[in-house]
Structure 1
């Protein structure tokens, strides 16, 4: 069966009506997350013990390379998925993943690691953005929060599980090659599933567009279907209060993730913890994050988006302060659990905000632009964390992130409006999911 063959069943909106495809896309996104998890525990330790790197800024170059590349790939994922369809973009993203684990296994120097993370950034931008858009396409307007909660829970739950598995494999069999064989298996399986069983969902967005009605309060009157790419970029980045606030909060959220990716294993190693315990500490953050989204995504469909996001950002700031004040396993465990809980409140809810506000015709591009800003946070976090850690120490870098996160919480509270509006059943009679 050809990988490029796309089945086009008659579209119908709803989570229950599209349960099989939705579940398949959840599984595919778990494999996307697994590609990141296989290396997060191992690469900072590999940098020090195999390549002899000691400067934090230099070590974090692979996180910055990943973040910048992923941000750029997000933009093209959104543009191409609106223009050519979702499935071809998903397939292209998985093709970029195949060389990554092989490069990490064979890397003779740190440049190979950075190059592998460039390819990984492309893979993550194309595949994760596309699965997000496809799920929003399938469920229609009334279950966006739940859909995003399930999507992100699968992705970041897989990050946590793969981090644990990679840490175990590294402790038992060495830093290479065993942990990276996970990624090779993930990429091969995902390419098979995406090419053979995933269906195109762009027609679902077109169906929703025919039923689209503006808000009664007139807030979205300027966000009509025929906006140009330049106008969509401006609205999502700066002008539209909810879209821009979501983009800014997303950047800070991933600033924290990027900083944790490069800095937390090194911080935890200062207490002479084993690789396995470091892996456990690192897995707590995405583990709570992933599991929590099973609750927070659907919760935002009931209580709204804005306050959940503001409280979540404030919780992250508090968690970072706890981590900065701690010097051992117990304090760090409390901080990483709290950080995961705050992130779970924010992550699926920000994506639901984009789905609430963006017109179905240009939703893919809006999601892509939001994810550009969000994933630039990886690079900003890596650079901020590396520079502050080199100048003032590891704990000071965590304090800097806490201050930035508190400011982001305040911005959301002041500028964002509530975007979730109840959708009456008669308008979307098929959206029973």
Structure 2
């Protein structure tokens, strides 16, 4: 086999990652725009706005098991294409909610329906991409697949928020949703010539609950890691405002810089040395970054804490995901990744309200102490798995 033919899977995976980045802009651009539309245009307040944003994540969490099973049974490519169809339907539904003939309450209900469809599409797209990429690259490079998929997703989130608000200002909500509807169509066209991979040979299929029983430990680790990330995303600007510091908007930029640099430099490290050592180092770095945010006496040190938090969070998902998929046979890897990703979804959904209570009672800085303690708890769990007798890899 020539070097060129050996490189074909990697080039296909890179192309698929680019497509994932583009279609995930559908999710990222809509998020702030939906909040602005509900709270300002419809005048329905923060609670209704929060529900409109959060209901998509609820749909994602509840559909992870179904999407993972579909990826296992039908293959990653059909699962991803179905996700793109849901993205299109969601964007068109949200576009319809902007019709001027609809009363305010009806517009809001149509918008909620679109957000639910978007959550289903997110499950199918992510797990279809993971299953397709893992089958394409083989079990030995599953960590690289997860690292690249994460880069595509988080890159879209980093660009999508400001881009969505920019388009909202210039095109209005209906125009933004029209752009969101075009992206999955473009993604499907870009992947039309990329061949799919047949699903792994099927065997005895346990229940989703039984699969969760096999992967709950790495899932719990990624849940604990996600607390710090969610806390930083929600409260860093408020923390700076409370401290009277300038430059609150640069906190997420520092986080994203650390996140992307580590993914670029060390994306294949879990495949080379294993998920547990990478997870342990990453959680230790995250704990230090969150503690620095808690104790920071100046904006410069707070930015350093955000940078370290991003660097620490970067490799936890692919490292622990590698541990999770190695606990199940190949024909269950989509289901396992569905359950595994749900732990991260739960962290993102639960952290905001709980951290808000802590911030109200003790101050914004204490939110980052909780993030640091959560990372240390994740580190302890990784250490417990590391010290256990090595499990046979599937």
Structure 2 runs not aligned, ≥5 long = none
**In 2: Cα distance, 1:389 partner to 1:349 partner:** 31
Q: Is the 8 A contact 2:68 2:334 kept in 1?
A: yes
TM-score normalized by the length of structure 2 = 0.79
Aligned to 2:188: 191
Pick closer, same or farther for the CA change 1:91–1:311 going to 2, 3 Å: same
Equivalent-residue separation in structure 2 for 1:165 and 1:349 (angstroms)? 31
Q: Tell me which residue corresponds to 1:90.
A: 80
Change over 3 Å in CA distance of 1:166–1:370 after alignment to 2: same
Structure 1 residue 99: deviation in Å?
5.0
1:255 equivalent in alignment to 2:255: no
Which residue, out of 58, 63, 69, partners 1:79?
Answer: 69
Q: Which has the higher helix share?
A: 2
RMSD: 3.8
SS in 2 for 1:18: helix
- 140-149 or 255-264: which moved more? 255-264
Q: CA deviation at 1:37?
A: 3.0
2:17 corresponds in structure 1 to 26
Secondary structure of 1:98's counterpart equals: helix
Q: Does 1:69 pair with 2:41?
A: no
* CA deviation vs aligned residue, 1:113-133 (integer Å, no higher than 9, x gap): 655443332221110111011
| DSSP 3-state at the match of 1:88 | helix
- 382 and 355 in structure 1: CA distance in 2 versus 1, 3 angstrom threshold: same
Alignment partners' CA distance in 1, 2:238 and 2:178: 24
Residue 407, structure 1, aligned to residue 374, structure 2 = no
Asked whether 1:373 is paired with 2:363, we answer no
* 1:229 aligned to which of 194, 206, 216: 206
Aligned to 2:319: 349
**Aligned residue in 2 for 1:119:** 117
Partner Cα separation in structure 1 for residue 245 and residue 39 of structure 2 = 15
Q: Is the 8 A contact 1:64 1:383 kept in 2?
A: no
Aligned match of 1:37: 28
Q: Is 1:310 equivalent to 2:285 in the alignment?
A: no
Deviation at 1:388, TM superposition (A): 3.1
Q: What is the CA–CA distance in structure 2 between the aligned matches of 1:67 and 1:357, rounded to whole Å?
A: 26
Deviates further, 404-413 or 114-123: 114-123
Q: How does 1:164-243 map to 2 (within 5 A)?
A: 164-166=162-164, 173=170, 183-194=180-191, 196-203=192-199, 205-206=200-201, 226-230=203-207, 233-234=209-210, 236-238=211-213, 240=214, 243=215
Instruction: Give the aligned length.
Output: 380
Q: CA deviation at 1:323?
A: 2.9
Which fold has the larger relative contact order, with Cα–Cα distance below 8 Å and residues 6 or more apart in sequence?
1
CA distance, structure 2, for counterparts of residue 63 and residue 321 of structure 1: 29
CA displacement 1:222-255 (0-9 Å, x = unmatched): xxx744322x633x433x4xx3321111222333
